[in-house]
Amino acid sequence: MSTPTWDAARENTHAAGLAAKLPPARMKLADADATTLAEPLTALGPLPAFPTSSVDGYAVAGGGPWRLSGQVLAGQTAPNIQAGQAIEVATGAMVPPGTEAIIRTENSTVDADDRVTGEARPKPEWREIGEETADGEELLPAGAAVTPAVLGLAAATGHDAIDVRPKPRAAVLVFGDELATTGAPRPGQVRDALGPMVPNILRRFGAGTVPGFSPRGPIEDTLESHIAVIRAALDDADIVCTTGGTMRGPRDHLHAALDALDAKYIVDSVAVRPGFPMLIAALPGGRFVAGLPGNPQSAVVALVSLVVPLIDGMSGRSLAPLSKVTLGADIAGRGDDTHLALVRIDHDGLAYPTGHTGSSMLRGLAGGHGFVVIDPGTSASAGDRVRFVPVPGAAA
Query: In Å, how far from its chain's centre is CA 258?
Result: 30
Give dist(CA 389, CA 365) in Å, integer: 12
Instruction: Decide: is 274 part of the binding site for ligand MOO (CB under 6 A).
Output: yes
Closer of 133 and 295 to ligand LQZAQKY5 (Cβ): 295
CB of 226 to ligand LQZAQKY5, least distance (A): 12
Q: What is the dihedral of CA 180, 181, 184, 190, to 10 degrees?
A: 40
Instruction: Decide: is 174 part of the binding site for ligand LQZAQKY5 (CB under 6 A).
Output: yes
- Opening angle at CA 60, ends 52 and 125, nearest 5: 35
Written as one letter, the residue type at 151 is L
Give dist(CA 35, CA 42) in Å, integer: 17
Closer of 99 and 295 to ligand MOO (Cβ): 295
Range in contact with ligand LQZAQKY5 (rule: CB under 6 A) among 15-23, 94-102, 237-245, 386-394:
237-245
Range in contact with ligand MOO (rule: CB under 6 A) among 75-83, 95-103, 259-267, 275-283:
275-283
Give dist(CA 296, CA 39) in Å, integer: 38
Question: Which are the contacts of 182, defined by CB distance < 8 A and separation ≥ 6?
Answer: none
Closer of 53 and 246 to ligand MOO (Cβ): 246
**Sole binder of ligand MOO in the list 167, 169, 273, 317 (CB under 6 A):** 273
Closer of 242 and 315 to ligand LQZAQKY5 (Cβ): 242
Instruction: Decide: is 194 part of the binding site for ligand LQZAQKY5 (CB under 6 A).
Output: yes
Total length of the chain: 396
Using DSSP, state whether 117 is helix, strand or coil. strand
Using DSSP, state whether 302 is helix, strand or coil. helix
Instruction: Decide: is 243 part of the binding site for ligand LQZAQKY5 (CB under 6 A).
Output: yes
Range in contact with ligand MOO (rule: CB under 6 A) among 152-160, 216-224, 293-301, 385-393:
293-301
How many CA within 13 A on the CB side of residue 298? 26
Q: Is the dihedral of CA 57, 62, 66, 71 positive or negative?
A: negative
Instruction: Decide: is 157 part of the binding site for ligand LQZAQKY5 (CB under 6 A).
Output: no
Total chain residues near ligand MOO (CB under 6 A): 9
> 80-84: long-range contacts (C-beta < 8 A, 24 or more apart)?
none
**Sole binder of ligand MOO in the list 133, 295, 338, 354 (CB under 6 A):** 295
Binding site for ligand LQZAQKY5 (CB under 6 A): 174, 176, 178-179, 190, 192-194, 243-247, 249, 252, 276-277, 293-296, 298, 359-360
Q: For binding to ligand MOO (CB under 6 A), which residues are involved?
A: 273-277, 293, 295, 298, 359
